[in-house]
Amino acid sequence: MAASPADDGFERALALREGPALVLGRAGSGRTELIARRVAALVSAGVAVDQIMVLTQSAANQAHLRERVAELLSGSYEEVSIETWPGFAERMLRDYALEAGLDPFFETASPADRLALLLDHLDDLPLRRHEIRGNPAGLLARLLERIDALKAEGIGPAELRDRARAAERGAPGRADREVALREIEFSELFDRHDATMLQLGVLDEGELILELGRLLTRHSDLSDVVGDRLRRLLVDELE
């Protein structure tokens, strides 16, 4: 259903008590406000605050939701879990580090940390087919953004390399072959990035989410454990 604070769809979504619901709306349509009010409505209806979780994409939206929920609830809002996807993944992986095969004291790396790490190893990176143009930081920042986008789609370096090699074999001309070769080189950089992070015992945000997916796939019983504890899941900015 589509919803904004001024229409009937908003009120119907707010009144829903059981079952899944997908609320569609463009930026500024009131989806975040709906989430905050729904949290307040659930608490007013007697749902324990520690059984409610809100997931959102960005730290900025997380802060906004926390502030808005605080305005709507007095005293108990801090017990409502409002987290970003990477934040939730990190907490789960620390709670179940043994099952995930991770050191429970693993570190996380921000995009800035990862950029600094790659710049420190610039001479060792496979970048012969990429144009640095005197600005290695700019190039590497763009490549890191692409790595993150691929991880968000569940695509790793091996799959990317296989695709690029297939494209190279089927390239109809020199220009297409060069594009495929540059993609192969990028997959090698992707692989080098992940191997370096693994060696250092550091996870980036994309890897946190992928590791959580692997954990829940290997240990499906954990999904039931989380589901029993968190009876109401609200997701903002789902893409």
Residue type, 13: A
Predicted confidence at residue 1, as pLDDT, reads: 47
Cβ atoms within 10 Å, residue 105: 8
Domain around 58: 8-96+220-235
The CATH number given to whatever domain includes residue 76 is 3.40.50.300
Say if 64 falls within a structural domain.
Answer: yes
Residue 89 lies in a domain: yes
Q: Give the chain's radius of gyration (CA, Å).
A: 22
What's the predicted TM-score (pTM) here?
Answer: 0.76
Confidence at residue 2, expressed as pLDDT on a 0 to 100 scale: 44
**Residue 100 to residue 92: CA distance in whole angstroms:** 10
Check residue 5 and give its pLDDT: 55
Domain count, the chain: 2
Residue 15: predicted pLDDT? 73
Rounded Cα distance, 81 and 79, in Å: 6
With a cut of 50, which residues of the chain have pLDDT below it?
A: 1-3
Q: Classify residue 36: in a domain, yes or no.
A: yes
Q: Identify whether 2 is part of a domain.
A: no
